[in-house]
Amino acid sequence: MHPAASVILFTTASGIGYGILALAPLLVTYGVLPDDNRWLGASLMLPALALVTIGLLSSTFHLGHPERAWRAISQWKSSWLSREGVMAIISYVPALTYSYAWVVLGSVDGPWVWAGFATALTALATLFTTGMIYRSLKPIPAWATNWTVASYLSLGLLTGLAVLVSVSTGFGLHPIRFQTLAVILVLAAAIAKNRYWARLHKAWEQHAQNTGAALASPGNTVRSVEWPHTEANYVLKEMGYRVARKHADSLRAVARNLLLVVPAAVLCVMPSILPLPYLIWMIFPGTLLTLAGVAIERWLFFAEAKHVVTLYYGVE
């Protein structure tokens, strides 16, 4: 699949945003984050809202008809894309409410806690629907797995946490307090992504095996001799993107290191061994590297995923 920059930007940015939205209220409620610092609230909630908004806008302006984007929430009964739109919009309500309480009122106590839960829940649900958009596309066997959803959820939360830790470290909070959560999320992301990658080629080969069935001649093997067009067309440009396996493998190693090893190091290990002033110098760049890692991972998510239509073009 063609790795369009706008989609990579959208999924990366909104992933971080929803990650923060899902985690911050819960961490506050369970006392991991202080609830009395509106500046901290502002520094977490506003960037989170900005990121999800940038993500949404970027995907909207990527549409052929952005002015009609409102229509996209109408088909929530069947379409995961529509559901995502709906969730994204709904999630603003608790998120803004909670932010209002935290930043403006300076208090998230009492009934505001419920707004916090709602924020977390809708953020998670939005991440889930994003994952489901891809998961539900059978013609792209790489994506048609629950590990796709698990990846979106865990990576959203992990990147959200990385930013959240950076910000709170800036407020002088020692990151050791997030250690357990970090360990859980790194493990979850590691499992999801590794399982996703582990089945990627097999999932494709299952489909590619019986190329004959693509041509109504089951059992036969087919080789493309001529395409219907000698230059690339929409289908090929959109769905026929090919990245050399060798490249993909090395990029995958980079993504793995940035996305899993770096947070494991800076979020899980270093807090136990480094004092805060030094940690700050590790956590900021570590977060940036993690975000770079997720961008690469998103690029690979598209670039490595083959669409079955390519069978018609003889792309093995």
Q: State the residues that interact with another protein by CB under 8 A.
A: 1, 63-66, 68-69, 71-75, 77-82, 85, 133, 136-140, 207, 210, 212-235, 237-239, 307-309, 312-314
Q: How far is the CB of 57 from another protein (least distance, A)?
A: 14
Q: How far is the CB of 225 from another protein (least distance, A)?
A: 5
Distance CA 103, CA 110 (A): 15
Q: How far is the CB of 296 from another protein (least distance, A)?
A: 21
* Per-residue exposure over 202-222, b if at least 16 CB sit within 10 Å of its own CB, e if not: ebbeebbebbeeeeeeeeeee
Residue closer to another protein (CB basis): 5 or 63: 63
Residue closer to another protein (CB basis): 11 or 166: 11
Here the tokens at position 168 are 């709170």
Q: How far is the CB of 235 from another protein (least distance, A)?
A: 4
Residue closer to another protein (CB basis): 124 or 239: 239
Question: HSE on the CB side for 165, CA within 13 Å?
Answer: 34
Distance CA 30, CA 102 (A): 15
Distance CA 20, CA 102 (A): 14
Residue closer to another protein (CB basis): 171 or 227: 227
Q: How far is the CB of 209 from another protein (least distance, A)?
A: 10
Residue closer to another protein (CB basis): 140 or 267: 140
3-state secondary structure of 40: helix
Residue of 290, 277, 266, 285 whose CA lies nearest to 183: 266
Residue 8 CB coordination number (10 Å): 21
Q: How far is the CB of 48 from another protein (least distance, A)?
A: 24
Residue closer to another protein (CB basis): 140 or 289: 140
Residue closer to another protein (CB basis): 30 or 234: 234
Distance CA 109, CA 70 (A): 35
CB 1 within 8 A of CB 241: yes
Distance of CA 151 to CAs 74, 122, 232, 314, Å? 27, 17, 32, 30
Region class of 31: left (phi > 0), else alpha (psi between -120 and 50), else beta? left
Q: How far is the CB of 216 from another protein (least distance, A)?
A: 4
Q: How far is the CB of 155 from another protein (least distance, A)?
A: 21
Residue closer to another protein (CB basis): 29 or 59: 59
